[in-house]
């Protein structure tokens, strides 16, 4: 990869920082627990990790994409389709997912939102009550086990003193409306944060209306000075969210608000509901030792109506139908011991633990027709019990071997077991039962050099792995009976070097170069009758550069910028399907072809003005490079740059804080493809982003 495009950027950042460099130790950003599971500042961790706190006043704050725009390396696309989850990828990992989130690990308050097979969702993330979002990229992500191309964690805020009641309402274009109520406080040894949020939209496109109810509660009980018990409960309900599907390029150009005809014909839609609870016990044993035990349980139901044609279902006895009915139960736990003292007279911390996660899924399929009536539940076509669990052991340590040097390393052993029991066996649909086990040991190592108090240099290396999910194991590429247990897990070798800068209390910046080489990458093998099958590709590579900058350039005037350049490609040739109805791969994909779903570059910049009270204003830019849409590299979405403008006024008087705000997005009213459906079998790759939109609202806080 040519480095020439990045040299001017890196030089400019360094020159700007050198001019403001200070010999004083900079004020560090808030501590995090992601990379080492012990409290450390991102500035002192030899890994790429960023934290975003509560967003600036005046956002809708419904989707994760609103929170992480200022972090390089992560792409979170709002698909304008609440029947599908937000598309999230980190350094190209997870970009191939057409639904759900794969390839990265997701957590909320330490509770996994990624199932043991590697598939996750963020629909239950309650951002209204969140204090911060942490994003970890690079090799150290592997310490979280299967599918760790990166880690995203959302943390609910603790209770406040004095107690607060918060009320919010915001609405605008396309029927968007968000209302919320939040109570947080401290009562003796108990602190609490309870939130309920309602969101609804008519949708930018036809047939894209949705409603979402989200509740989240975090209650902590400080039993004594050394012991705390925390209960986290959350729920989400998304009834009958309409699915507009993707558009072909011709359809997008003709009318980006339209939907595919089959979306109306079969009334494509999805309902999801989830309830989850977790209990966390924190115990300080003595000055050096502590123990943390977490257990959780949840259930999630999904019913989805697809657009698989009636004729296809009738003609194929093995077809699983056009209605998906999933009932999930899941749970698990994590027990971790931490020792923090000295080794050879130097500060040393080690954390070691075990983790267990279990999922049982009752998967049923039905025809999406009854007689001549389409878009309704018909005869059963699939019935199976899918079980997957993992059992992992891990240890990781940080040792400050000298004043200017720190070492950090870790090791995780993961074992993931799949078992499927077929309960629908009829003529033309034989027994698909089976089981398989995947395992891996993933080491990571990093070193940090404190070149000066304001400049830290780091390097790290590690291995990672990603198993197929149950969705990818669902069908064999050869059309035979049974699940695709011949698929192998993808294994990666990851390296990174970086520079972290804090020249003053008000300025910080970062620069990172990275590469990840993967063996047995998963890619599409066939698309036939609504069934997608997968195959392993020998080698693939993701490499690039990330840069970020934050500063208060004048009193109450802040600037933030982030840039990522990413080259993701298949390194070996293979065969794939080029048309709908392809029963066997027959079209060559050349080595060097771009991995779909990965934009060449992303950029974000924002200039904001505002203090705790009075007038506030902001101008921001969000840019996305061209994105390939299929393995062949024959379809793509063009790049774009969109601008937004916001303004508001804050009154902070006595017990009341009143924030009124307004916002305009996509100022130039451009029609762009906001996200792509990778390898769509019908060539409907494009998911349009809205044109110019407006938002107004008010948030009230009573103390």
The position carrying tokens 């090791």 is: 411
- Tokens for 90, please give them: 């980190």
Residues 6+ apart with CB under 8 A from 538: 519, 520, 571, 572, 574
User: Domain locations in the chain?
Assistant: 4-702
Report pLDDT for 22. 33
Return the number of other C-beta atoms located less than 10 Å from residue 686's C-beta. Answer: 26
**Residue-level pLDDT at 161:** 92
As a CATH number, domain 4-702 is 2.40.170.20
Angle at 380 between CA 479 and CA 270, to 5 degrees: 90
Q: Across the strands, what pairs with 644?
A: 620, 665
Low-confidence ranges of the chain (pLDDT < 50): 1-28
Q: Which residues contact 132 (CB under 8 A, 6 or more apart)?
A: 30, 51, 52, 53, 54, 154, 155
Name the residue among 492, 461, 487, 462 with its Cα closest to residue 473. 487
- CA pair distance 379, 238, nearest whole angstrom: 25
Going by their DSSP bridges, the two strands 574-576 and 164-172 should be labelled as unpaired
Give DSSP secondary structure letters for 234-259.
EEEEEEEEE----B-HHHHHH-TT--
Alpha helices in 530-682 (DSSP H): none
Relative to beta strand 74-77, strand 87-90 is antiparallel
Q: Are 528 and 176 in contact (CB under 8 A)?
A: no
Backbone angles phi, psi at 354, to 5 degrees: -130, 150
Tokens 């699915």, residue located: 243
Structure tokens at 56: 């600036």
Instruction: Say how far apart CA 269 and CA 82 lie, in whole Å.
Output: 9
CA separation for the pair 609, 450 (Å, rounded) = 33
How far apart (Å, rounded) are the C-alpha atoms in residues 20 and 621?
Answer: 26
Nearest to 643 by CA among 603, 697, 596, 616: 603
User: Counting Cβ atoms within 10 Å, is residue 373 exposed (0-12), middle (13-18) or buried (19+)?
Assistant: exposed
pLDDT computed for residue 499 by the predictor: 98
Judge residue 638's burial from the number of C-beta atoms within 10 Å of its C-beta, 0-12 exposed, 13-18 middle, 19 or more buried. exposed
Task: Please name which of 532, 517, 519 lies closest in space to residue 488, comparing C-alpha atoms.
Answer: 519
> What stretches of 24-77 adopt beta strand conformation (E)?
48-53, 74-77
Q: What is the pLDDT of residue 202?
A: 96
Tell me how far apart the alpha carbons of residues 506 and 174 are, in angstroms, rounded to a whole number.
Answer: 38
Pairing outcome for strands 105-108 and 150-156 = parallel
Q: What is the pTM of this model?
A: 0.92
263 prior amide bond cis, ω within 30: no
């Amino acid at each position: 990869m040519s480095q020439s495009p990045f040299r001017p950027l890196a030089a400019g950042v360094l020159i700007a920082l050198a001019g403001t460099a200070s010999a004083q130790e900079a004020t560090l950003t808030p501590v995090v627990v992601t990379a080492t599971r012990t409290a450390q500042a991102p500035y002192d961790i030899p890994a790429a990790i960023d934290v975003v706190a509560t967003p600036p006043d005046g956002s809708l704050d419904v989707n994760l994409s609103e929170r992480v725009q200022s972090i390089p390396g992560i792409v979170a696309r709002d698909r304008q389709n609440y029947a599908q989850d937000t598309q999230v990828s980190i350094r190209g990992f997870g970009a191939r997912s057409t639904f759900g989130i794969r390839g990265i690990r997701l957590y909320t308050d330490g509770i996994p939102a990624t199932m043991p097979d590697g598939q996750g969702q963020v629909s239950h993330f309650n951002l209204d009550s969140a204090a911060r979002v942490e994003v970890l990229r690079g090799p150290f992500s592997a310490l979280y086990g299967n599918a760790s191309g990166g880690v995203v964690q959302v943390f609910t805020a603790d209770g406040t003193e004095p107690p607060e009641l918060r009320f919010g309402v915001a609405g605008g274009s396309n029927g968007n409306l968000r209302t919320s109520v939040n109570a947080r406080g401290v009562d003796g040894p108990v602190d609490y944060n309870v939130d309920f949020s309602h969101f609804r939209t008519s949708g930018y496109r036809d047939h894209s209306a949705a409603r979402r109810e989200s509740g989240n509660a975090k209650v902590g009980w400080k039993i004594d000075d050394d012991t705390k018990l925390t209960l986290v409960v959350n729920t989400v309900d998304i009834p009958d969210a309409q699915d507009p599907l993707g558009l072909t390029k011709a359809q997008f150009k003709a009318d980006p608000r339209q939907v595919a005809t089959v979306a109306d014909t079969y009334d494509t839609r999805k309902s999801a509901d989830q309830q989850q609870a977790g209990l966390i016990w924190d115990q300080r044993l003595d000055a050096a030792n502590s123990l943390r035990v977490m257990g959780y349980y949840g259930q999630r139901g999904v019913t989805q109506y697809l657009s698989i044609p009636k004729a296809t279902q009738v003609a194929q006895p093995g077809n699983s139908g056009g209605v998906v009915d999933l009932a999930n139960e899941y749970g698990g736990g994590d027990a971790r011991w931490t020792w923090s003292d000295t080794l050879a007279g130097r500060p040393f911390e080690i954390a070691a633990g075990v983790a267990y996660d279990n999922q049982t899924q009752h998967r049923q399929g039905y025809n999406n027709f009854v007689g001549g009536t389409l878009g309704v539940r018909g005869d059963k076509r699939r019935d199976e019990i899918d079980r997957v669990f993992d059992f992992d052991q891990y240890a990781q340590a940080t040792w400050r071997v000298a004043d200017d040097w720190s070492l950090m390393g870790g090791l995780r052993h993961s074992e993931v077991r799949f078992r499927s029991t077929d309960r629908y066996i009829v003529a033309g649909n034989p027994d698909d039962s089976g089981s398989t086990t995947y395992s891996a040991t993933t080491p990571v190592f990093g070193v940090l050099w404190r070149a000066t108090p304001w400049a830290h240099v780091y390097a790290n290396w590690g291995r990672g792995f990603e198993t197929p999910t149950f969705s990818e194991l669902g069908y064999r590429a050869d059309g035979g009976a049974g699940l695709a247990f011949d698929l192998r897990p993808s294994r990666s070798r990851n390296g990174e070097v970086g520079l972290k800068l804090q020249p003053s209390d008000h300025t910080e910046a970062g620069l990172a170069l990275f590469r990840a080489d993967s063996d047995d990458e998963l890619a599409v093998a066939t698309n036939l009758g609504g069934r997608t099958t997968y195959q392993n590709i020998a080698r693939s590579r993701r490499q690039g550069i990330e840069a970020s900058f934050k500063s208060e350039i004048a009193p109450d005037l802040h600037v933030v910028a982030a840039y990522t350049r990413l080259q993701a490609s298949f390194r070996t040739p293979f065969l794939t399907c080029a048309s709908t109805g392809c029963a066997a791969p027959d079209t060559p994909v050349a080595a060097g072809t771009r991995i779909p779903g990965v934009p060449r570059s992303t950029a974000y910049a924002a200039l904001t003005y505002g203090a705790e009270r009075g007038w506030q204003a902001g101008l921001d830019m969000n840019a996305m490079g061209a994105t390939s849409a299929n393995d062949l590299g024959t379809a793509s979405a063009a790049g774009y740059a969109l601008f937004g403008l916001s303004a508001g006024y804050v009154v902070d008087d006595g017990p009341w804080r009143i924030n009124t705000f307004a916002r305009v997005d996509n100022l130039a009213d451009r029609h762009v493809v906001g996200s792509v459906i990778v390898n769509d079998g019908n060539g409907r790759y494009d998911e349009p982003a809205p044109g110019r939109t407006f938002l107004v609202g008010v948030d009230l806080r009573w103390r």
